[in-house]
């Protein structure tokens, strides 16, 4: 007030004195803010940044990267405006409201940066892939914005916040209808996390949405999936509750990826093994022990039951297809890239117009896609290449080459 009286005595009228007085006060406020901003940003924050980058802790680097300290420094101008409010005489109440509104907005921004920093720090922990907290942090963030909004409105209309809260109950039905999808997404996000249905890094398939790849992010409203063609699919969180999807996490945890593939054998190539074939099979490493045991077992059975073996149809005999299945089984069990202790089976399915399907059921110990496909291809390359050794033929529909050979 002394400053105002000093100016009023030296100017011709009160209006001019008021204008000049407010200009001087505002200029002084801006000057002090500028000086403090310089000290805080160029000295204090620079010192804090240097200290944080040179220490061994990592969590404070995350706070720095998310601009937590920079936003805290923004509170200072609001406090100065509030302190200078008495100098504005009749505008004192307005200036204090502006200062409080400014400080509340900055505090909400500080909390937003702090929540982002907490999420980044938590992501550095391996457990974050199993229990992501991004959805929970988003709920807290919404709560911060809601409380800030109510406080700002109460300041602007000069009413107690309880007055505003009393009207929220009446608007709940309308809000629930308008934000129905948001609420459903919120509940779905909690279910996904709580029931451990989805984790960051999981390989999921969701054909309805054209998604097939790894989960990048699980948020309150959506799940981001990076497909194998490197495109990104963003799917509503609620879809993972209402629709079906395949999660391959179990396969990765098991440590083996299943192969279930069949090929067809021409039924006209199946026959009983001759003595010459049996002698030849004894030279195969994976069949030597089996052939010797089976031949001895069959001979003993036929002798004990006085079976006439002059005709191959009598008694028990070996077939080339049966020996071939045993060979494949032993071949698979001796491969180092097959998961030990897992089910390994070579089975014969029902015959059809394309021959007899021989299905391989096994688990490859490498779950990586490229390696899995390569190992699977090696197995079938070998099997198809040795079919002729057992005097069997793989069935396939006639090709142009077959027709050309028939013509010749």
Range scoring the smallest mean pLDDT among 48-57, 243-252, 253-262, 328-337: 48-57
Share of the chain above pLDDT 70, in %: 84
Q: In terms of domains, do 358 and 279 share one?
A: yes
Q: In terms of domains, do 52 and 97 share one?
A: yes
Q: Which two tokens stand for residue 225?
A: 């999936």
Q: In terms of domains, do 235 and 314 share one?
A: no
Domain holding 332, by residue range, is 257-407
Q: Is residue 391 part of a domain?
A: yes
* Number of structural domains in the chain: 3
Q: Is residue 308 part of a domain?
A: yes
Most confident region among 28-37, 156-165, 299-308, 369-378 by mean pLDDT: 369-378
Q: Is residue 145 part of a domain?
A: no
Q: In terms of domains, do 114 and 213 share one?
A: no
3-state secondary structure of 348: strand
Q: In terms of domains, do 274 and 393 share one?
A: yes
Looking at residue 172, what is its pLDDT?
A: 56
Q: Are 316 and 299 in contact (CB under 8 A)?
A: no
Residues 6+ apart with CB under 8 A from 331: 286, 382, 383
Q: In terms of domains, do 198 and 268 share one?
A: no
Burial 111-144 (b: 16+ CB within 10 A, else e): bbbbbbbbbbbbeeeeebeeebbbbbbbeebeeb
Closest alpha carbon to 297 in 319, 317, 321 = 317
Q: In terms of domains, do 225 and 331 share one?
A: no
State how far the Cα of 56 lies from the Cα of 54, in Å rounded to an integer. Answer: 7
Looking at residue 260, what is its pLDDT?
A: 94
Looking at residue 40, what is its pLDDT?
A: 81
Looking at residue 168, what is its pLDDT?
A: 57
Q: Is residue 160 part of a domain?
A: no
Closest alpha carbon to 90 in 152, 18, 155 = 18
Range scoring the smallest mean pLDDT among 56-60, 71-75, 247-251, 281-285: 56-60
State how far the Cα of 408 lies from the Cα of 223, in Å rounded to an integer. Answer: 61
CATH code, 235: 2.30.30.60
State how far the Cα of 86 lies from the Cα of 72, in Å rounded to an integer. Answer: 25
Q: Is residue 237 part of a domain?
A: yes
Q: How many residues does the chain have?
A: 408
Q: Which two tokens stand for residue 284?
A: 């195969």
Assign 3-state DSSP to the chain and report helix, strand, coil percentages, each to 5: 65, 15, 25
Q: In terms of domains, do 392 and 304 share one?
A: yes
State how far the Cα of 386 lies from the Cα of 65, in Å rounded to an integer. Answer: 62
Q: Is residue 263 part of a domain?
A: yes
Q: Which two tokens stand for residue 373?
A: 């496909």
Q: Are 57 and 93 in contact (CB under 8 A)?
A: no
Does residue 56 have a pLDDT over 90? Answer: no
Per-residue pLDDT, averaged over 332-353, amounts to 91
Most confident region among 58-67, 280-289, 294-303 by mean pLDDT: 280-289
Q: In terms of domains, do 262 and 303 share one?
A: yes
Q: Is residue 184 part of a domain?
A: no
Q: Which two tokens stand for residue 187?
A: 């509940």
Does residue 346 have a pLDDT over 70? Answer: yes
Tokens 């529909």 locate to: 397
Looking at residue 306, what is its pLDDT?
A: 81
State how far the Cα of 1 lies from the Cα of 7, in Å rounded to an integer. Answer: 10
3-state secondary structure of 107: helix
Looking at residue 226, what is its pLDDT?
A: 94
Q: In terms of domains, do 243 and 294 share one?
A: no
State how far the Cα of 371 lies from the Cα of 259, in Å rounded to an integer. Answer: 13
Strand partners, 225: 215, 233
Q: In terms of domains, do 370 and 315 share one?
A: yes
Alpha carbon 295 to its chain centroid, in Å, reads 55
Looking at residue 165, what is its pLDDT?
A: 60
Q: In terms of domains, do 363 and 233 share one?
A: no
Q: Which two tokens stand for residue 273?
A: 């093994």
Burial 330-339 (b: 16+ CB within 10 A, else e): bbbeeeebbb
Range scoring the smallest mean pLDDT among 11-20, 248-257, 334-343: 11-20
Strands 246-247 vs 203-206: parallel, antiparallel or unpaired: antiparallel
* Residue that finishes a domain, picked among 201, 221, 248: 248
Per-residue pLDDT, averaged over 28-34, amounts to 83
Per-residue pLDDT, averaged over 176-199, amounts to 69
Q: Is residue 115 part of a domain?
A: yes
* Residue that finishes a domain, picked among 213, 248, 283: 248
Does residue 247 have a pLDDT over 70? Answer: yes
* Residue that finishes a domain, picked among 248, 270, 289: 248
DSSP for residue 334: T
* Interaxial angle between packed helices 180-194 and 134-156, expressed in degrees from 0 to 180 and rounded to the nearest 10: 140
């Amino acid at each position: 007030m002394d400053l105002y009286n000093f100016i009023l005595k030296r100017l011709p009228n009160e209006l001019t004195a008021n204008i000049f007085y407010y200009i001087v006060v505002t200029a002084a406020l801006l000057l002090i803010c500028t000086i403090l901003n310089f000290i805080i940003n160029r000295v204090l924050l620079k010192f804090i940044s240097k200290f944080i980058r040179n220490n061994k802790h990592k969590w404070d680097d995350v706070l720095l990267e998310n601009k937590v300290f920079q936003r805290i420094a923004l509170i200072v101008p609001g406090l100065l405006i509030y302190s200078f409010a008495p100098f504005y005489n009749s505008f004192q109440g307005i200036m204090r409201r502006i200062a409080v509104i400014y400080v509340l907005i900055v505090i909400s921004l500080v909390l937003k940066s702090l929540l982002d920093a907490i999420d980044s720090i938590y992501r550095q922990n391996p457990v974050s892939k199993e229990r992501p907290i991004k959805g929970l942090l988003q709920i807290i963030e919404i709560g911060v914005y809601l409380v800030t909004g109510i406080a700002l409105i109460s300041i602007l209309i000069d009413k107690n916040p309880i007055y505003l809260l009393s009207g929220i109950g009446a608007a709940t039905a309308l809000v629930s209808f308008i934000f129905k999808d948001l609420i459903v997404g919120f509940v779905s996000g909690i279910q996904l996390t709580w029931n451990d249905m989805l984790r960051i890094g999981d390989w999921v398939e969701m054909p309805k949405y054209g998604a097939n790849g790894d989960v990048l992010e699980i948020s309150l409203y959506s799940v981001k999936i990076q497909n194998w063609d490197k495109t990104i699919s963003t799917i509503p969180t609620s879809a993972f509750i209402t629709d079906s999807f395949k999660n391959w996490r179990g396969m990765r945890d098991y440590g083996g990826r299943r192969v279930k593939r069949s090929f067809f054998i021409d039924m006209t190539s199946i026959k009983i093994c001759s003595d010459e074939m049996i002698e030849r099979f004894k030279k195969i490493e994976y069949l030597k022990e089996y052939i010797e045991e089976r031949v001895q077992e069959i001979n003993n059975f036929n002798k004990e039951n006085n079976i006439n073996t002059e005709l191959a149809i009598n008694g028990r005999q070996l077939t080339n297809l049966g020996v071939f299945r045993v060979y494949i089984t032993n071949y698979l069990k001796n491969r180092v890239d097959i998961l030990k202790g897992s089910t390994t089976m070579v089975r014969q399915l029902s015959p059809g117009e394309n021959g007899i399907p021989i299905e391989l059921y096994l688990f490859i110990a490498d779950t990586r896609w490229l390696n899995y496909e390569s190992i699977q291809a090696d197995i079938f390359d070998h099997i198809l290449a040795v079919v002729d050794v057992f005097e069997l033929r793989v069935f396939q529909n006639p090709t142009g080459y077959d027709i050309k050979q028939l013509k010749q």
